[in-house]
Chains A and B, each alone.
Chain A
Amino acid sequence: MRRNRSKEERGQAHTLESVVGAVLLLTAIAFALQVTIVTPLSASTSSQHIEGQQRSVAQGVLASAAEEGALQEAVLYWNNTGSSFHNTSTRGFYASGPPDIQFGNMLSRAFDEEGIAYNVYFTYQSSSSSVNRRPFILQGTPTDNAVSTTRTIALRNDDRLVDKDGSLDDTTVNETDSFYINNAPSGAASGLSHGVYNLVRIEVVAWRI
């Protein structure tokens, strides 16, 4: 009888051990899954590669746009009477898509079909020697994995504003007060002279959506 009971207890111990062992292993798996959770947006080598490609594409767009003078055209695409970029009304920047100028079309060809969103900012020296950053195209708040590329161009005093249809206006940047970029303070501090009006840094921020 006593021998039998001890047999019975031994059997119970086996079951309990295996159940405890299983619970331990399941807890370990649950913990492992918890610490290594991978979503489509988590950083990995492949997402780093994609970010690198987006940066290179943006660099290529800026380089070819600069070669064609399309960056100047975008910076000067200003409605002199409305004191805003053409067709932006009170918002002051393009939100639903790029404007129908060369730079806008290039951005659209490079990014829109790939499902990549982008913001474009113009940065320039203001009259008080501080730096202003004005949005040109705003499509939203960039994610943590956004990439940024810049290129700097010079505006000259005799550069003319661009009309809505892309043709050159008669007004030069130096003649009008309503142009958003002011003449950079001259003198030793700015280092600008010889007809240079201001320097503008064009920044493209791109991210996957």
Chain B
Amino acid sequence: MRGQTTLDFAIGISVFLAVVIAIFAFVPGILTPFTATGQSDAVTVDRTADYLVQDALGGTESPYLLDRGCTVAFFDRTAEERPDDPFADDCRYENASLNDQLGFPDRTTVNVTIVGNVSGGTQPKPLYWDRTDRNLTENTGDVELAIGASLERQKSTTTATRVVRLHGRDVLMYVVVS
């Protein structure tokens, strides 16, 4: 009789433990959509994209219509350098590194890329500015219209998308933060 009691108790406690373990396994999954991972990224990346297309590169009186000279100068540098184009002195953004211009701390990875479809192909491609032809091109040109470190594959990123007008064409601007 004593042996049987222990068996009942063993069954009972194992069912109980199984349920407890199942709860611990399930509950984080239930809460995942509501936890605050990357929430602030969505806001900052949206503000950054708005700042770029409505103020820094576009101008407050002509939002979404980018100034070609300022835009090319903005992209004409490596990630750590300042714009070396003298034209940039007349632009609305500060002459500083990318993270400083956009107000991000140094550990944040920011990437700004302009893609478009200027050749009539099927897919939009990263665009370049050709200084000699004075035109946008999908082939490798003088100034790559992309800036910022390339993003690590594994990290989660937040993207803001804008359609802007640059040099008479409607192109897409992506701002990615991770």
A contact set with B: CB distance below 8 Å: 4, 7-8, 10-12, 14-15, 17-19, 21-22, 25-26, 29, 32-33, 36, 38, 44-46, 48-49, 52-53, 56-57, 59-61, 63-65, 67-68, 106, 109-110, 113
Least CB separation from B7: chain A residue? A11
Given A7-B1, A29-B26, A113-B124 contact (CB < 8 Å): yes
B169: nearest chain-A partner, CB-CB: A64
Q: How far is the CA of A56 from the CA of B160 in the complex (A)?
A: 9
Q: How far is the CB of B113 from chain A (nearest CB, A)?
A: 15
Contact in complex: A29, B23 (CB < 8 Å): yes
| CB of B134 within 8 Å of the partner chain | no
Minimum distance in angstroms from A147 CB to a CB of chain B: 13
Does B69 have its Cβ within 8 Å of any Cβ on chain A?
no
| CA A17 to CA B11, docked complex, whole Å | 11
Cα distance A201–B36 in the bound complex, in angstroms: 39
Central interface residue in B2, B12, B22, B162, by most chain A CB within 10 Å: B12
Closest approach, in angstroms, between the C-beta of B18 and any C-beta of chain A? 8
Inside 8 A of B13's CB, which chain A residues have their CB? 18
Q: In the complex, how many residue pairs between chain A and chain B have their CB atoms under 8 Å apart?
A: 110
- Asked if B88 is at the interface of the complex by the 8 Å CB criterion, the answer is no
Identity of the chain B residue whose Cβ is nearest the Cβ of A64 in the assembled complex: B165
Give chain B's interface residues, CB within 8 Å of chain A. 1-2, 4-5, 8-9, 11-13, 15-16, 18-20, 22-23, 26-27, 30-31, 33-34, 39, 42, 46, 49-50, 53, 62-65, 117, 123-124, 158-165, 168, 170, 172
Assess A64 versus B164: contact at CB under 8 Å? Given A7-B2, A10-B5, A33-B30: yes
A residues in contact with B62, CB < 8 Å: 67
In chain B, what residue has the closest Cβ to A28?
Answer: B23
User: 26 A-B residue contacts at CB 8 Å?
Assistant: A11-B5, A12-B8, A18-B13, A19-B15, A22-B16, A22-B18, A22-B19, A29-B22, A36-B33, A38-B33, A44-B34, A53-B159, A53-B161, A56-B160, A56-B161, A57-B163, A60-B53, A60-B163, A61-B170, A63-B165, A64-B64, A68-B168, A106-B163, A110-B163, A113-B123, A113-B124
* Contact A59 to B172, CB < 8 A, known contacts A15-B8, A67-B165, A109-B117: no
Roughly how many angstroms separate A128 CA and B60 CA in the complex, as a whole number? 37
Q: How far is the CB of A79 from chain B (nearest CB, A)?
A: 26
Q: Are A109 and B170 in contact (CB under 8 A)?
A: yes
Residues of chain A within 8 A (CB-CB) of B27 are 32
Complex contact B64–A59 (CB within 8 A) = yes
| A18-B12, A32-B30, A106-B170 as given contacts; A8 in contact with B1, CB under 8 Å | yes
Contacts A8-B5, A64-B164 supplied; 16 other A-B pairs, CB < 8 Å: A15-B8, A15-B12, A19-B15, A22-B18, A25-B19, A29-B23, A44-B34, A49-B158, A53-B159, A56-B50, A57-B163, A61-B163, A63-B165, A64-B163, A67-B65, A106-B163
Q: Which of A11, A29, A57, A59 contacts B8 (CB 8 A)?
A: A11
Complexed CA–CA distance, A29 and B34 (Å):
17
For A105, give the chain B residue with the smallest CB separation.
B170
Residues of A within 8 A of B11 (CB): 15, 18
Question: Given A4-B1, A29-B26, A33-B30, are A56 and B65 also a contact pair (CB < 8 Å)?
Answer: no
